[in-house]
């Protein structure tokens, strides 16, 4: 499951990275704890040159009341044991809530990193999971839908993050699922309206664990109302060692301070 993530990059960084513009009148605010029900940036296949704000937690267009479907399982109802070696059916293509969006309503969900707990303790034992070499922001593979409240007429556009089996890093937490992170070279393909269903589902696979790392943080982050930089402060060592720095304060992520990108907010957090 991926129910919390982080996006704190400035608007101009997002616009340049995804070659898309934020419409006038929309303000993108940094968040260290994007939680269900909050509005967050997405880039949809409907308009791949525009960054929009959708609600995290998808409500299908046919629902009688608001739903908050945070994640869409690649396997659908199959692979209930979350076998990391599963090669069977992609049940997402037949699930009522997902079968239309996976075909025609796909989106990129920009993120700097995400929060994942262990399978048993959940967010009582949380980790920040990030891509190495400052590969941020990156994008989750998402799907979206638009729902109209029949009583009030309110129209809500919302999204879900697609998940798949856990890669080696997530299993090390341990956790049984991984969000689908797209390679940058596949992002335009994911948004293409000409993409076949077979080609779309072929992209729904675990991201390379060798390009990822994680470290533990305080369980204070499980409070959805908490949103500040201190939530991302490490309280222990990274799962995989990276190159070492000369100084090593107890709460410093060693080796992440050289070649800083100017103005990167996560560099300022992780190296103080």
Query: Dihedral sign, CA of 113, 118, 123, 124?
Result: negative
Total structural domains in the chain?
Answer: 1
Across 193-217, average pLDDT: 98
Q: pTM for the full model?
A: 0.92
How far is it, in rounded angstroms, from Cα 162 to Cα 204? Answer: 8
In a domain, 179, yes or no: yes
Q: Is residue 232 part of a domain?
A: no
Give domain status of residue 252, yes or no: no
In a domain, 260, yes or no: no
pLDDT band at 244, cuts 50/70/90? low
The band of 272, judged by pLDDT with boundaries at 50, 70 and 90, is: very low
Question: From CA 10, how far away is CA 24, in angstroms rounded?
Answer: 15
pLDDT one-digit tens code per residue, 114-159: 999 999 999 999 999 999 999 999 999 999 999 999 999 999 999 9
**Mean per-residue pLDDT over the chain, rounded:** 92
Answer whether residue 247 shows pLDDT above 50. no
Give DSSP secondary structure letters for 66-132: ---B-EEETTTTS-TT--TT--S--GGGTSTTTHHHHHH-EEEEEESEEEEEETTTEEEEEEEEEET
Domain that holds residue 49: 4-227
Tokens of 223: 């409070």
Is position 263 within any domain?
no
| pLDDT reading at 16 higher than 80 | yes
Q: Which residue has the tokens 């596949």?
A: 186
Q: Residue 262: its pLDDT value, please?
A: 55
Two structure tokens written together for 84: 């990391």
Q: Is residue 17 part of a domain?
A: yes
Confidence band (pLDDT; 50, 70, 90) for 267?
confident
Closest to 75 in 3D by CA, of 60, 85, 63:
85
Cα separation, 143 vs 154, in Å, equals 20
Whole-number Å distance between alpha carbons of 63 and 79? 26
CATH number of the structural domain spanning residue 49: 3.90.1680.10
Of 203, 240, 232, give the one whose Cα is nearest residue 127: 232
In a domain, 65, yes or no: yes
The larger pLDDT score, comparing residue 86 to residue 260, is at 86
Task: Give the residue with greater pLDDT, 121 vs 251.
Answer: 121
78 inside domain: yes
- Does the pLDDT at position 271 exceed 90? no
């Amino acid at each position: 499951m991926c129910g919390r993530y982080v996006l704190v990059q400035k608007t101009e960084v997002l616009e340049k990275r995804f070659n898309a513009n934020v419409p006038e009148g929309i303000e993108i605010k940094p968040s260290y704890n994007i939680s269900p029900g909050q509005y967050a940036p997405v880039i949809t296949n409907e308009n791949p040159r525009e960054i929009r704000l959708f609600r995290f937690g998808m409500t299908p267009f046919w629902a009688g009341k608001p739903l908050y479907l945070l994640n869409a399982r690649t396997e659908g109802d199959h692979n209930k044991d979350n076998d990391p070696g599963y090669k069977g059916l992609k049940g997402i293509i037949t699930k009522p809530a997902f079968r239309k969006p996976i075909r025609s309503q796909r989106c990129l969900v920009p993120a700097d990193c995400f929060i994942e707990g262990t399978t048993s303790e959940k967010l009582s034992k949380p980790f920040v999971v990030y891509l190495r070499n400052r590969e941020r922001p990156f994008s989750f593979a998402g799907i979206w839908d638009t729902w109209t409240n029949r009583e009030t007429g309110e129209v809500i556009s919302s999204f879900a993050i697609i998940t798949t089996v856990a890669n080696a890093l997530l299993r090390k937490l341990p956790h049984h699922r991984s969000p689908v992170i797209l390679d940058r070279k596949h992002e335009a393909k994911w948004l293409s309206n000409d993409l076949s269903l077979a080609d779309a589902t072929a992209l729904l696979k675990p991201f390379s664990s060798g390009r990822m790392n994680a470290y533990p943080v305080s369980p204070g982050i499980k409070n959805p109302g908490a949103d500040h930089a201190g939530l991302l402060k490490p309280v222990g060592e990274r799962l995989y060692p990276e190159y070492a720095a000369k100084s090593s304060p107890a709460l410093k992520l060693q080796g992440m301070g050289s070649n800083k990108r100017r103005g990167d907010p996560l560099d300022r957090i992780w190296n103080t």
